[in-house]
Amino acid sequence: MEKIITRFPPSPTGYLHVGGARTALFNWLYARHMKGKFILRIEDTDIERSTRESVDAILEALEWIGIDWDEGPYFQSQRFDVYKKYAQKLLDSGQAYYCTCSREQLENMRKKAMEVGGKPKYDGTCRGKELSKTDDSVIRFKAPLVGTTVVEDVIKGNIVFQNSELDDFIIQRGDGTPTYNFAVVVDDITMGINTVIRGDDHVNNTPKQIMLFKAFGCPLPTFGHVPMVLGCDRTRLSKRHGAMSVTAYRDMGFLPDALINYLVRLGWSYGDQEFFSKDELIEKFSLENIGRSAGIFNMEKLLALNADHIKATPPGKLARHLLPFLRERNLNAEEGPYIESIIETLATRSKTLQEMAEGAMFYFQEEIEYEETAAKKFLTPSVLEPLNLLLMELNSLEHLSEKNLENAFIKIMEQTGLKLGKIAQPVRVALTGKTVSPGIFEMIHALGKKRTQARLKRAVEFITGQSDL
RNA sequence: GUCCCCAUCGUCUAGCCCGGUCCAGGACACCGGCCUUUCACGCCGGCAACAGGGGUUCAAAUCCCCUUGGGGACGCCA
């Protein structure tokens, strides 16, 4: 079978948003699954709106979510000569013509067409005129007037368009640059692309592109149009729906694999399975299981998936993702056993890396700051005894395993007659300053003997200092 | 306005192609309970959907038609 070649063609007029990331993912996953090739192409024929910053932002986002490409990035702005050559071919074979209609004229045509209840389109004024090139003439494609064009879509099935609905669209602007539909087809032909997976919003472009493929006598690629991602108000995703850019999710503390998992699962399914690693996605992805209806972006579910991915990621690997968030908080954390044991205590209670970093702060603070209500309630003279006993027990412990710690606490319970809760909460406040934290034993284990003892001593001093007053 | 697409719990979806095993399954969220030293995790249970109407058929979430609703596209943007 022919090698699958897919592509992702963003236009650099902004950051990479989650919708774009999803179509990139579908193309990439399909190429990887089929052991084919994935090409990155920057569609910057609109020189006005394209920026270098956008290109950089898009590449950065793709790299972060782990999408790599086998070829490119190609820039359409560097291929203008190719498009001109192809436009000339159409001119030569009589399948395209120069048009000198003004923008005002076009405006009027559209208005008139709308008035009689039709679709706004070019009326073919210059079609038979055999005009030659002028300074600002455009080139139009001579589209078939009658018949139908059918899009054989692998996701939606056959879609039939009446050619009479389409018009002689422009393929080259007055300034000599190619328009979108034209550049896409020339590129897909010259780059050997045989599988085009893109957003639903492109179905109406497809018959035009098919006409061009036919005009060039080239075989059609396989088309697949994936339903769009909608905002919570069921309209096209836009800024007012909140965070859109892929890197914004990185900054909020999402794991790239969690975002990937969520985005792919939104519109694609594999039975009842919800959790997928990246490799599993590559292994199981298929075009057949892409759904036909639009999906709504749901933050809650993304959060839940992120929590699952956090739990499933080994601490060492998680550490590398977490470190930037720690440094953001001016904590001097580094890779190593300490951060890994910290992560082990936090993984089950963090939905995002931001949350985890927040929860990890007390591990790095030299001087614990007690929450007022917590200190008032739990750091009282009556807990001096168990606190001191714990200090002693820790002295005699070789290994702070959770088992050993549990035994130590049991011993103290027996000696003081206090219930575990009565001992654990004060210790918790002493170690973290708060009443909410990871489990006592795992936390002491992570903290280590020195830090734990220092904090306990400080709490004892705090209590005696208070009661002296 | 015209054209195109879509339609199962609030949301993501399984089931639909190859009608019966579906008084519709899973997940998120939500609500209970269990576990428990706090918060979580985990476990158990609950709530909750085939848009409406016509056909076809012994039988329809599944096939056909219409209606309604939603989305998208109609640029010398992509």
- How confident is the model over A322-345, as pLDDT tens digits? 999 999 999 988 999 999 999 999
Average pLDDT over residues A177-201: 97
Nearest-10 Cα torsion for A365, A353, A60, A242: -120
- The whole-number pLDDT of residue A175 equals 94
Q: Please, which pLDDT band fits residue A283 given cuts at 50, 70 and 90?
A: very high
Gap from A355 CA to B41 C1', Å: 16
Q: What is the ipTM of this complex?
A: 0.95
Residues 71-110 of A with CB under 7 A from strand B: 101-103, 106, 110
- The whole-number pLDDT of residue A467 equals 67
Fold of A5-77+228-306: Rossmann fold (3.40.50)
- How confident is the model over A378-390, as pLDDT tens digits? 999 999 999 999 9
Average pLDDT over residues A253-263: 98
- The whole-number pLDDT of residue A119 equals 87
Q: What whole-number distance in Å separates Cα of residue A432 and Cα of residue A368?
A: 6
- The whole-number pLDDT of residue A241 equals 80
Fold of A313-364: Helicase, Ruva Protein; domain 3 (1.10.8)
Nucleotide nearest to A156 (CA to C1'): B5
Chain mean pLDDT for chain A: 94
Fold of A366-469: Arc Repressor Mutant, subunit A (1.10.10)
Average pLDDT over residues A13-29: 95
Centre a 10 Å sphere on the Cβ of residue A175 and count the other Cβ atoms it contains.
Answer: 9
User: Hey, what amino acid is at A97?
Assistant: Y
Q: What whole-number distance in Å separates Cα of residue A127 and Cα of residue A245?
A: 43
Which strands make up the sheet holding A71-75, listed edge to edge? A5-8, A37-42, A71-75
For the cut 80, the answer to whether the pLDDT of residue A468 exceeds it is no
For the cut 70, the answer to whether the pLDDT of residue A469 exceeds it is no
Closest to A207 measured CA to CA, from A287, A138, A143, A154? A143
A138 CB-to-strand B distance under 7 Å: yes
Q: Tell me the CATH class for A79-226.
A: alpha beta
Residue A125 backbone phi and psi in degrees, to 5: -50, -45
Q: What angle do CA A164, A168, A172 make, to 5 degrees?
A: 160
| Residue lying closest to nucleotide B28, CA to C1' | A301
Closest to A199 measured CA to CA, from A452, A410, A412, A11? A11
- How confident is the model over A211-255, as pLDDT tens digits? 999 999 999 999 999 999 998 888 888 777 876 899 999 999 999
Which bases in strand B are touched by protein, i.e. have an atom under 7 Å from a CB?
A: 1-8, 10-15, 25-29, 36-42, 70-78
A349 CB-to-strand B distance under 7 Å: yes
- The whole-number pLDDT of residue A23 equals 96
Higher pLDDT, A168 or A117: A168
Gap from A290 CA to B58 C1', Å: 35
For the cut 60, the answer to whether the pLDDT of residue A44 exceeds it is yes
For chain A, residues classed under CATH 3.40.50.620 are 5-77+228-306, 79-226
User: For A443-458, b where at least 16 C-beta lie within 10 A, e where not — what string?
Assistant: bbbbbeeebbbebbeb
Q: How far is CA A103 from CA A100, A110, A138, A334, in A?
A: 9, 11, 11, 61
Among A16-25, A304-313, A412-421, the minimum mean pLDDT is found in: A412-421
Q: What whole-number distance in Å separates Cα of residue A215 and Cα of residue A140?
A: 13
For the cut 70, the answer to whether the pLDDT of residue A1 exceeds it is no
User: Hey, what amino acid is at A204?
Assistant: N
Q: What whole-number distance in Å separates Cα of residue A137 and Cα of residue A131?
A: 9
Average pLDDT over residues A262-272: 96
Gap from A18 CA to B13 C1', Å: 19
Average pLDDT over residues A74-95: 97
For the cut 70, the answer to whether the pLDDT of residue A202 exceeds it is yes
Which residues, other chains included, contact A349 with Cβ-Cβ below 8 Å and sequence gap of 6+?
A359, A438
**Residues of A designated as active site:** 239
Closest to A292 measured CA to CA, from A349, A342, A350, A227? A227
Q: Please, which pLDDT band fits residue A62 given cuts at 50, 70 and 90?
A: very high
CA end-to-end distance (rounded Å), chain A: 86
For chain A, residues classed under CATH 1.10.10.350 are 366-469
